[in-house]
Structure 1
Amino acid sequence: MKFHGPILDNLNNAIASARRLRGHPVYKDTVAYWNELIQEARRIQREPTYEQADVLEPAIVSLKLELAERNR
């Protein structure tokens, strides 16, 4: 999957969408996109040359929590 722009921006946009859509149905493709985004962020976070790895962690955790809430 191709992401546009910085990974942190993508994570923050996904978090905002997930929060806005709480309690509403979401397409399976959207949830799949959010999960792929988390996986890509984890991959980027492990790259030794990526300088903002510590900034990614809170965003990853926030999106994971939103997804966990959705799966209840």
Structure 2
Amino acid sequence: MDVTVEEIAAMYKSRWDIESFFRWIKQNLNVRVLFGTTSNALFKQLFAAMIAYVLLKFLHVQGQKKKKNKTNACHL
């Protein structure tokens, strides 16, 4: 095996980044099971989950802004 220590460290770091990414997906996107076996099916499921996450996050932030504005208007 002609692999340097730096290359092994880079591979381990890449593996850790991938593991962290999938942990984030499981925790935040509520994707417990991947339904497809092809890369295309995987991408579609993950993109759909990410789109739903971003939309819900956006709506949550907008709701918080409106709630804050209503609270400030009541105190005037």
Give TM-score scaled by structure 1 length. 0.34
Answer 1 or 2: higher relative contact order, Cα 8 Å, separation at least 6.
Answer: 1
Give the TM-score normalised by structure 2.
0.33
Bigger helix share:
2
